[in-house]
C-alpha cells in the first residue's frame, strides 16, 4: 500500500475525530520519523512503515494522538507528553495571548509562576516568549513533575524550576501567574478519548466545576507582584461564575475569549 493510500484509509477510520486527516498525517509522520511538513512535501516518495498499522489501531481505540506520538506543539514550543499528564490544548494559548497583551510595550515579566503546570506548557511557552524571564512550575502529580522537568531541561535550561506544590504557590510574588486548573463538572459527558485516557485529577472540579477556583481565589493576591497579572483558564460557561469568586476577593477581573469566541481566560490584577 502506498503512503498516500494508507493515509486515506486511516483518515476514513477516524470518523470519530474532529481532525481525522490531521491525525492520520501526524501518525504517519511519526511512524516515518519525519516532520509532518516533510511528509506532505514528499508523500508520493514515502513508504508505508509496518508500524503505521498499529498506530492507526491505537487511534481507532480513541487513544489521543499526543499520547501515541509522545509530543504536542503548544504556542512556540514542542512538548513531550505522556499518559498521566493533561494534553495541552490550543484554547489554552489564550492565556499566553492575554499575558502578551498585558505586558505589551514593556520588557515583559521577570518572573513567571505556573500553578498546576502539568507538562509545563504554559510556563515554557511564557519563558520562550520572554527570554530574560525565569519561572517556577508547581504541580502535585508525580507524573506531571517528571514530564515537566524533562521539558524544562530541554526547552528552558537553567530558567525553569519544577517543584511539588499546590495552589498556594511558593510563598513568593510573581509578575505573571498562569493557571489552567481542573474546571469540568463531575457529571459532565466527555469524549472517550478524554474520559478514558486523560487524568481525572486534571479535569474534574466538583459538581459545578468551580471547586479549585474557590481555593485559588483567596490565595492569589499574595502571589501577585505589584503590576503583575494572573491569567486563569476557565470553561466556556464559567465566565460569570468563576469571575465572581475573584471579584469577591476585591481583585480586578477582565474576561478574554478564545478564537472561537468562547469564554476562556480570566485576566486578574490586584
Q: Residue 212 and residue 232: Cα distance in Å, rounded?
A: 11
Quickly tell me which residue has 479549585 as its cell: 212
Whole-number Cα distances in Å, 140 to 165, 168, 179, 227, 261: 5, 12, 14, 28, 32
**Greatest distance between any 2 Cα atoms in the chain:** 63
Q: How confident is the model at residue 1 (pLDDT cuts 50, 70, 90)?
A: confident
What is the arithmetic mean of pLDDT over 58-72? Answer: 98
User: In terms of pTM, does the model score above 0.75?
Assistant: yes
Pair 243, 220: CB distance under 8 Å = no
Pair 3, 44: CB distance under 8 Å = yes
Q: What is the mean pLDDT of the chain?
A: 97
Q: How confident is the model at residue 224 (pLDDT cuts 50, 70, 90)?
A: very high
3-state secondary structure of 183: coil
Q: pLDDT tens across 201-215, in order?
A: 999 999 999 999 999
Q: Residue 201 and residue 205: Cα distance in Å, rounded?
A: 8
Q: So what CATH class is 82-269?
A: alpha beta
Q: How confident is the model at residue 173 (pLDDT cuts 50, 70, 90)?
A: very high
Domain ranges of the chain: 3-61, 82-269
Q: Residue 196 and residue 191: Cα distance in Å, rounded?
A: 8
Task: Report the share of the chain in percent with pLDDT over 70.
Answer: 100
Amino acid at each position: 500500500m502506498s503512503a498516500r493510500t494508507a493515509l486515506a484509509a486511516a483518515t476514513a477510520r477516524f470518523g470519530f475525530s474532529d481532525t481525522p486527516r490531521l491525525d492520520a498525517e501526524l501518525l504517519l509522520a511519526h511512524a516515518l520519523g519525519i516532520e509532518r511538513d516533510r511528509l506532505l512535501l514528499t508523500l508520493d516518495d514515502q513508504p508505508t512503515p509496518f508500524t503505521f498499522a498499529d498506530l492507526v489501531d491505537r487511534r481507532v481505540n480513541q487513544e489521543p494522538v499526543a499520547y501515541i506520538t509522545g509530543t504536542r506543539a503548544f504556542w512556540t514550543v514542542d512538548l513531550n507528553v505522556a499518559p498521566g499528564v493533561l494534553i495541552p490544548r490550543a484554547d489554552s494559548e489564550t492565556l499566553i495571548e492575554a499575558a502578551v497583551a498585558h505586558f505589551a510595550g514593556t520588557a515583559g515579566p521577570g518572573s513567571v509562576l505556573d500553578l498546576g503546570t502539568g507538562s509545563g506548557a504554559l510556563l515554557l511557552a511564557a519563558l520562550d516568549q520572554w527570554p530574560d524571564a525565569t519561572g517556577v512550575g508547581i504541580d502535585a502529580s508525580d507524573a506531571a513533575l517528571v514530564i515537566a522537568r524533562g521539558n524544562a531541561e530541554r526547552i528552558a535550561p537553567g530558567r525553569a524550576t519544577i517543584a511539588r506544590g499546590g495552589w498556594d504557590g511558593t510563598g513568593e510574588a510573581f509578575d505573571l501567574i498562569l493557571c489552567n486548573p481542573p474546571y469540568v463538572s463531575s457529571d459532565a459527558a466527555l469524549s472517550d478519548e478524554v474520559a478514558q485516557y486523560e487524568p481525572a485529577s486534571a479535569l474534574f472540579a466538583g459538581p459545578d466545576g468551580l471547586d479549585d477556583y474557590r481555593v485559588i481565589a483567596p490565595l492569589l493576591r499574595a502571589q501577585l507582584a505589584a503590576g503583575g497579572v494572573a491569567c486563569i483558564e476557565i470553561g466556556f460557561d464559567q465566565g460569570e461564575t468563576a469571575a465572581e469568586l475573584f471579584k469577591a476577593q476585591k481583585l480586578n477581573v477582565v474576561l478574554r475569549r478564545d478564537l472561537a469566541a468562547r469564554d476562556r481566560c480570566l485576566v486578574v490584577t490586584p
